[in-house]
């Protein structure tokens, strides 16, 4: 399959993310990563994956740094979007080296930008199906190119059960102090 674009949006950054997406990007299909999980009730405030091919209105708005999309994460994907959704879902809960379990804010570009700025590296196979991860930092930046998108370090079908361990430098970069920003209406 050839590459296509997809965006991860943090639903908590909007007062009603799904309605906003359907209203502003009716030709795109949002896929809440918490849908059909025990956390279904939180699907609108959790990470939302949405197709955003290169050149689409959604991708162009992200490239332009539109306020509501600036903290979204754009990815060049190599696998079908339904498979990408399941892959990303398996990465929402992670383990620390001492075995504690955490939720990963995978759709919020702010902690990911801090990790990129710190030079933190993801485990091989973390970005399965994704050939590059792009963040917005005064313009689009390719944060993590992935030379081996075929690798999958969490291939199990265990739903949201944590199965990946992130190292301390990456966890530290992801959890540095975050100043809460206003929720966009």
Number of domains in the chain: 1
Note the pTM of the prediction, 2 decimals: 0.90
Look at residue 158 in the predicted model and tell me its pLDDT. Answer: 76
Q: Give me the domain span that covers residue 149.
A: 4-175
Q: Is residue 120 part of a domain?
A: yes
Mean pLDDT, 10 residues at a time, over the chain (185 residues)?
A: 82 91 94 92 93 93 91 95 94 95 92 95 96 95 96 84 94 74 42
Q: Is residue 140 part of a domain?
A: yes
Look at residue 50 in the predicted model and tell me its pLDDT. Answer: 97
Look at residue 2 in the predicted model and tell me its pLDDT. Answer: 52
Look at residue 99 in the predicted model and tell me its pLDDT. Answer: 96
Distance CA 131, CA 149 (A): 5
Look at residue 114 in the predicted model and tell me its pLDDT. Answer: 94
Radius of gyration of the chain from its Cα atoms, rounded to whole angstroms: 15
Q: Is residue 182 part of a domain?
A: no
Q: Please, what is the angle between helix 109-117 and helix 168-175, to 10°?
A: 130
Q: Which two tokens stand for residue 146?
A: 């992935």
Please say whether the beta carbons of 50 and 31 come within 8 A. Answer: yes
What are 35-89's pLDDT values in tens digits? 988 898 999 999 999 999 989 999 999 999 998 899 999 999 999 999 999 999 9
Please say whether the beta carbons of 50 and 69 come within 8 A. Answer: no
Look at residue 3 in the predicted model and tell me its pLDDT. Answer: 67
Q: Is residue 183 part of a domain?
A: no
Q: Is residue 25 part of a domain?
A: yes
Look at residue 18 in the predicted model and tell me its pLDDT. Answer: 94
Q: Is residue 185 part of a domain?
A: no
Q: Is residue 180 part of a domain?
A: no
Q: Is residue 181 part of a domain?
A: no
């Amino acid at each position: 399959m050839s590459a296509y674009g997809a965006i991860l949006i943090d639903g908590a950054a909007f007062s009603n993310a799904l309605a906003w997406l359907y209203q502003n990007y009716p030709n795109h299909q949002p896929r809440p990563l918490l849908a059909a999980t025990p956390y279904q009730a939180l699907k609108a405030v959790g990470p939302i994956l949405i197709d955003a091919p290169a050149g689409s209105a959604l991708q162009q708005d992200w490239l332009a740094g539109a306020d509501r999309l600036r903290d979204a994460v754009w990815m060049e994907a190599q696998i079908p979007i339904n498979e990408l959704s399941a892959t990303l879902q398996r990465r929402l809960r992670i383990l620390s080296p001492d075995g504690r379990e955490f939720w990963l804010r995978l759709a919020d570009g702010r902690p990911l930008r801090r990790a990129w700025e710190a030079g933190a590296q993801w485990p091989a196979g973390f970005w399965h199906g994704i050939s590059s991860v792009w963040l917005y930092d005064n313009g689009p930046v390719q944060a993590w190119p992935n030379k081996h998108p075929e690798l999958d370090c969490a291939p199990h079908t265990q739903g949201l059960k944590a199965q990946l361990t992130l190292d301390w430098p990456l966890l530290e970069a992801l959890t540095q102090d975050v100043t809460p920003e206003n929720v966009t209406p």
